[in-house]
A and B are shown apart, each in its own frame.
Chain A
Amino acid sequence: MAHMGRDTIPLILLKEGEEGIIHLVLGGLGLISRLASMGMTSGMKLRVVRNMGGPLIVTTNGTRIAIGKGQAQKIVVRRLAAAKEKADLS
């Protein structure tokens, strides 16, 4: 994909517990503005809570959002240096 720089990856590749900054959202204006209104837009920090092959759960600004795999492929993020793995709950 042309939009992927060296250090940017689609959201779907972030693992659980990892954090990233949204670089850009590909896709139609509808998806972009829908995500923006929920706090997911360029420059926003997010954390992946759940990514187990199905839809993802991310938290951003205190909101948790479930997001389909297809959409997660269209969100390009810059991975943040591994946030300190908080004591894993399990």
Chain B
Amino acid sequence: MAGTDLLVALAGQPNVGKSTVFNILTGLSQHVGNWPGKTVEKKEGFYVSDGTRIKIVDLPGSYSLTAYSEEERIARNFIINERPDAIVLIANASAVERSLYLLAEFLLLKVPIIVALNMMDVAEQQGIRIDVGLLEKYLGVPVIPMVASRNQGIKALVSAILSLSEGKKENMPSMADISEDHKNIFIELSDILERYITPPYLIRWTITKIMEGDPDVTEKMSRTVPPDSWSRVQALLRQHEDSLLAVVRGRYDWIEGAVRSAISEFKRGQILFTDRLDHILTRPFPGIPILLGVLALVFSLTYGLGLPLQQFLESFMNSLAMGVEPLFDQSPWLRGIVVDGLIGGAGTVLTFLPVLLFFFAAMAFLEDIGYMARAAFVMDSFMHVIGLHGKSFLPFCLGFGCNVPAVMGARILESGKIRFLTIFLTPFVPCTAKLAVVTLIAAAIFGKNALIMSWALVAGNILILGFTGMIASKLLFKEQHMPFIMELPFYHTPNLRTIGIVVWKRLTTFVKKAGTIIVLFSVLLWLLSHIPGGNIEGSILGFIGQSIEPIGRPIGLDWKMIVALLASVTAKENSIAALGVLYGVGEKGIREILPSVMSPASALSFLVILMLFVPCVATLVVMKQEMGGWRWFLSSFVFMVFLSYISGMAVYQCALMVGI
């Protein structure tokens, strides 16, 4: 099958069902990575049709193509530089006006484009009738009606892509004009700038962008245009401050034409389902109590279903370890690396998969039906107190499962500083692994007060997150609040395919980290704790622990606990394994031994430090990656070490004073 290769880009605003279309087209052939040098996700995949291999690139969702956000910049640079064979613009049939705004921008780039009019069913439910034929005629580009969630219209879309790229059909698009009163400025600007605009940039597009005040294009042109001409351009723009509005108005006039010719709306009178639900869910009361209830349900479901499975897997790992142990009779080193390092280290981490599976499935479900946007909305006022806004609530929620996807989830925040602060605070959200350690140690040491202690620790942890955020935001954001603008999608029935793919992606990220970084560190940790002496006391790790024991005194930790804390950096649950090995727990089990070696005050200090200490390597790696530079990352690292030490000391000394 020789066939030709086509490059097709999927574009669209958020909440138009773009990822559903992408998932249907590419299935499991998709590859998820990053745009080079950016922390924006790049998704690619293939669709094969009659010997034609179509490479599909999912452009980041963006409302427009002005360079105000990374997503928009990436999308338009891709179009300008890669010149795809076709662009599929996914539009939301129930909010056509808005989608057409993005289309107006694309048409300026003179690209072969197809409009995929998705969510036709939703539009119909809302009494919106769209005459596809008339719309197509008005726009001059193919329009394909679709219901992607029910797999309708995909075939038609593919054949439209093929006939467009084979040149069987040529686009004769109509285009939005600049509003009448500003046409002269457009012409004047063109006269000055025309000769300096070189391919791949188009004259009409460039001038429009200059009128819009696009920072990138303006900057680029200011460097190529001679100073005297450029100052004339600036004078013109100053005289007509409202150039941007003229461009916008022109686009909406054009959109209105489309709407008038092809769309009729019947009685939208009946209150929509979304209205009714939002009436309840977006009020502080009962919105916030409902949110807390929903989260409580998610947690009890996650732990109720996940923990038994986790324990089952743990015993499976134990028997696996016992099963393979005889194989390494000859080589105690290999035995140590495989049994203690691989199975005991990375294997333990993997036993948390069921817990994460249930948690991520519940979160993905809530996201998919549209509830999480409401959660962000009602939490906005609270989040403002700590210098963030509602959207940061979503990554924090994920953090209760695992900090890794939470750090990556901070990508939904478009403003740089708020994103940094959210990532900075994420490690203070106690993840499942930390909670497991807290529960176990609290149960061993505090007996019947264990539950209260665990709750107090978690609550304290969240309070510290709040205080840190408050102080950090005061230092960082001297100016006004960051803008909070967020679309609230309509509620809809869950799409199992979309949920499945989201869960799958988050879980595989976790497994990949466990399979690479955590395996590496587990083995390294095992080596460090056995070289050169063959046992921990005589090892490098033991040596480090013993030599820094003095700093453990004010916080009530002996060197073994310090080593366990260092081990927790591999993965939080490894601190338990380390304690087990260091105190020689053996057959008796850690619950029996701990009370005899750890005083309640020390245990408290240990847990506080564990919760505030630097997160696990997997989280550290993504933090570095998402924060870009070293500055934020290192300051966050140093801060956590410092904060955990101070807090541990405070808790320990207080505990001694009140006689715990």
Contacts and interface: CB of A to CB of B under 8 A. Distances in A.
Q: Verify that A and B bind, or say they do not.
A: yes
Interface of A: 24, 29-39, 41-44, 49-50, 52-55, 57, 61-68, 70-71, 86, 89-90
A17 to B, nearest CB: 11
B403 to A, nearest CB: 26
Contacts of A90: 279
Contacts of B252: 41, 43-44
Contacts of B278: 49-50, 57, 64
A32 B378 CA distance: 25
Nearest to B104: A37
A66 B377 contact: yes
A36 B378 CA distance: 25
Nearest to A74: B483
Contacts of A32: 244-245, 248
A63 B275 CA distance: 12
A64 to B, nearest CB: 4
Contacts of B101: 36-37, 39
Given A66-B484, A68-B389, A89-B279, A37 B102 contact: yes
A23 B634 CA distance: 47
B283 interface: yes
Contacts of A49: 275, 278, 282
Contacts of A89: 271, 275-276, 279
A32 B245 CA distance: 8
Contacts of B276: 89
B282 A57 contact: yes
Given A33-B212, A63-B98, A65-B487, A50 B244 contact: no
Contacts of A42: 245, 248-249
B535 interface: no
Contacts of A36: 64, 101, 244, 248
Interface residues of B, number: 46
Contacts of B212: 29, 33
B279 A68 contact: no
A38 B487 contact: yes
A52 B102 CA distance: 32
A40 B282 CA distance: 21
Given A49-B278, A54-B381, A70-B480, A64 B485 contact: no
A63 B95 contact: yes
B486 interface: yes
Interface string B9-31: 00001000000000000000000
Contacts of B102: 37
A86 B244 CA distance: 37
B488 A65 contact: yes
B373 A66 contact: yes
Please list the 3 inter-chain residue pairs (A to B) with the smallest Cβ-Cβ separation, ordered nearest first: A68-B484, A37-B64, A37-B63
Given A41-B248, A43-B252, A62 B66 contact: no
Nearest to A67: B485
B483 A63 contact: no
Contact of A66 (B245, B275, B485): B485
Contacts of A29: 212-213, 244
Nearest to B63: A37
Contact of A55 (B249, B380, B480, B490): B380
Given A33-B66, A66-B377, A38 B98 contact: yes
B558 interface: no
Given A29-B244, A61-B95, A62-B126, A34 B380 contact: no
A52 B274 CA distance: 18
B381 A30 contact: no
A68 B418 CA distance: 15
A37 to B, nearest CB: 3
A33 B283 CA distance: 29
Given A33-B68, A70-B480, A57 B488 contact: yes
29 contacts: A31-B483, A33-B212, A33-B213, A33-B248, A34-B483, A36-B244, A39-B101, A41-B252, A50-B278, A50-B282, A52-B283, A52-B284, A54-B284, A55-B377, A55-B390, A57-B278, A57-B377, A61-B95, A62-B94, A63-B95, A65-B486, A66-B376, A66-B487, A67-B486, A68-B380, A68-B389, A70-B484, A71-B483, A89-B276
Contacts of B128: 62
Contacts of A86: 271
B13 to A, nearest CB: 8
B481 interface: yes
A67 B487 contact: no
Contacts of A70: 480-481, 483-484
A54 B380 contact: yes
A68 B381 CA distance: 9
A24 B241 CA distance: 13
B97 interface: yes
Task: Determine which residue in A36, A62, A68, A86 has the highest number of CB atoms from chain B within 10 A of its CB, and name it.
Answer: A62
Interface string B468-505: 00000000000011011111101000000000000000
A54 B487 CA distance: 16
A34 B249 contact: no
A53 B282 CA distance: 12
A67 B95 contact: no
Task: Determine which residue in A57, A68, A86 has the highest number of CB atoms from chain B within 10 A of its CB, and name it.
Answer: A68
A12 to B, nearest CB: 13
A71 B98 CA distance: 20
A35 to B, nearest CB: 7
B487 A63 contact: yes
Interface string B351-394: 00000000000000000000001001110110000000110000
A50 B283 contact: yes
B95 A68 contact: no
A78 B628 CA distance: 44
Contacts of A63: 95, 98, 487
A30 B380 contact: no
Contacts of A52: 283-284
A66 B486 contact: yes
A80 B276 CA distance: 23
Nearest to A31: B483
